[in-house]
């Protein structure tokens, strides 16, 4: 079940709010309130609703998911138990206390647990790619097997690793099975994130408090997400799909720009909806996007784009590898590893790996030249143009499933491919409506994020009339987005495939 469907908006969402807050009311003021509180009725309601959400999205996967949750919870408890229990090794002289060494099995248990969690991801998502690599290296002809991956397996795996690693580090307790189930199943984030760290989520399980202000904030955020997805991203996606054949040079460049806008509004719109839904149920999630198309370097871009993914890689890959504390050479290696894994995580294809490596190389180059006088003196507008140029072409790697198709499109963009018959020119694809929406999208992704504009916006909504105007505009956009949803064909979020 996707968020931007009639089933979710008109059936599941209202029912989930009714069921959850009925449980909250019973737990706080019911006849058996103490017993219901002890049974954690509101958490059980959320787990039940999340299970129904996932079951609706993919009926078969829910049963495997429950087994997976049980496994992760058991491994988390094993890590927690191994942290508390110390084993003693006495060297040489048993009577000499100074020769006694204390060891813990927590790290081996953690590593085993992560191997188990990653194996599930690799089995379902990367078997075909690994078979292809095997056949290439060993000149073999092993038949590649393709498995239907459980929905959201990449995000679920990263959440599971966060759960296990935070327990090992002592930054959060394992909790009971309900805690683990709620964390992994929570429907606003289960399919496509944001990736919430266990340490952040666990703190809110018992302390969260829903308020009218938070619910209002959440519903507003949901409406903004709907407008981003349905009015902008889906319109751009329909145009991209229709212009996928023989096109002229202007159309090829226009489609590439549309994809750059589509992927931003698609995923940031999803994140807005997920964060808003979490607010409705009393949770607060960190921002996942911060106007990435304002970035003046690839390094800055990755601090603004998919922030939760960057945080996860920093916490569980980059820092454990040593971060930037072990010299420049080790830092460069660590950055390369992180971006290689980032590419692999996004998809089991060479285009994703190349996309990750290009971003990693740019990040490393910026690291090496950041202290140079000429780099510091370079105007920001030049840095911005270079950064957006790299991002623009890298998204083309992201768009295609194989490198040959990507190269073919790039050749079309530069007039290196001649078509015998081009059915439509750029005027057909980029009519007045499309151009207006593109301008709105570009302004919204860039100029609206400038500090002066943001300060003026915050000052405006602090006033009652400014707040009323904003809410009115958002509501009108939401109504328009619902009309788009009803009158158009269903288009899944791009990140559902990850």
Domain boundaries, the chain: 59-207, 214-497
Residue 295 to residue 275: CA distance in whole angstroms = 23
CA atoms within 13 A on the CB side of 93: 5
* pLDDT grade for 437, boundaries at 50, 70 and 90: very high
Instruction: Give the whole-number percent of the chain exceeding pLDDT 70.
Output: 92
Query: For residue range 199-227, what is the model confidence (pLDDT) as tens digits?
Result: 999 999 988 888 899 999 999 999 999 99
| Cα→Cα distances 207→38, 40, 200, Å | 15, 13, 11
Query: For residue range 288-334, what is the model confidence (pLDDT) as tens digits?
Result: 999 999 999 999 999 999 999 999 999 999 999 998 888 888 999 99
pTM here is 0.91
The answer on pLDDT for 380 being more than 80 is yes
Contact indicator for 282, 209 with CB cutoff of 8 Å: yes
Q: For position 296, what pLDDT does the model report? A: 96
Transcribe 249-293 into DSSP letters.
Answer: HHHHHHHHHHHHHHHHHHHHHHHHHHHHHHHHTT-----S-S-GG
End-to-end CA distance of the chain: 16
Query: For residue range 83-120, what is the model confidence (pLDDT) as tens digits?
Result: 877 655 555 545 555 555 666 788 999 999 999 999 98
Contact indicator for 194, 283 with CB cutoff of 8 Å: no
Mean of pLDDT values over 4-22: 94
* pLDDT grade for 492, boundaries at 50, 70 and 90: low
């Amino acid at each position: 079940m996707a968020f931007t469907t009639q089933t979710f908006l008109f059936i599941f969402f209202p029912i989930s709010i009714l069921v959850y807050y009925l449980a909250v009311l019973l737990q706080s003021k019911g006849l058996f309130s103490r017993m219901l509180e002890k049974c954690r009725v509101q958490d059980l309601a959320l787990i039940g609703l999340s299970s129904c959400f996932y079951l609706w999205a993919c009926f078969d996967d829910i049963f495997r998911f429950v087994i997976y949750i049980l496994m992760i919870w058991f491994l988390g408890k094993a890590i927690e138990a191994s942290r508390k229990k110390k084993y003693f090794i006495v060297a040489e002289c048993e009577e000499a206390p100074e020769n006694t060494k204390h060891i813990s099995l927590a790290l081996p248990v953690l590593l085993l647990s992560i191997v188990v969690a990653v194996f599930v991801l690799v089995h379902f998502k990367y078997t075909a790619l690994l078979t292809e690599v095997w056949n290439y290296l060993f000149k073999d002809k092993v038949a590649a097997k393709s498995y239907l991956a459980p929905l959201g397996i990449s995000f679920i795996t990263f959440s599971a690793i966060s759960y296990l690693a935070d327990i090992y580090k002592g930054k959060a307790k394992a909790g009971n099975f309900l805690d683990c189930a709620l964390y992994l199943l929570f429907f606003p984030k289960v399919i496509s994130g944001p990736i919430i760290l266990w340490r952040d989520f666990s703190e809110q399980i018992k302390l969260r408090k829903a308020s009218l202000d938070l619910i209002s904030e959440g519903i507003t955020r949901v409406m903004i997400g709907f407008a981003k997805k349905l009015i902008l991203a889906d319109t751009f996606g329909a145009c991209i799909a229709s212009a996928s054949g023989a096109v002229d040079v202007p159309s090829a460049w226009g489609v590439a720009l549309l994809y750059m806008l589509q992927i931003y509004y698609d995923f940031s719109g999803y994140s807005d909806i997920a964060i808003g839904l979490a607010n409705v149920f009393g949770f607060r999630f960190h921002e996942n996007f911060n106007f990435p198309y304002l970035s003046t370097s690839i390094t800055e871009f990755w601090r603004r784009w998919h922030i939760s993914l960057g945080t996860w890689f920093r916490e569980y890959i980059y820092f454990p590898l040593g971060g930037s504390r072990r010299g420049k050479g080790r830092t460069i290696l660590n950055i390369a590893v992180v971006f290689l894994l980032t590419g692999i995580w996004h998809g089991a294809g060479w285009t994703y790996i190349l996309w990750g490596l290009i971003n990693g190389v740019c990040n490393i180059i910026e690291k090496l030249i950041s202290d140079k006088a000429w780099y510091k003196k370079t105007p920001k507008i030049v840095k911005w143009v270079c950064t957006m140029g790299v991002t623009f072409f890298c998204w083309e790697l992201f768009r295609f499933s194989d490198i040959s198709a990507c190269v073919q499109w790039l050749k079309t963009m530069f007039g290196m491919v001649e078509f015998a018959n081009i059915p439509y020119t750029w005027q057909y694809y980029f009519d007045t409506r499309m151009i207006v929406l593109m301008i709105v999208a570009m302004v919204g992704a860039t100029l609206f994020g400038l500090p002066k504009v943001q300060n003026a916006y915050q000052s405006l909504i602090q006033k009652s009339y400014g707040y009323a105007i904003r809410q009115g505009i958002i509501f009108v956009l939401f109504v328009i987005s619902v009309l788009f949803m009803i009158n158009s064909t269903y288009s899944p979020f791009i990140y559902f495939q990850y």
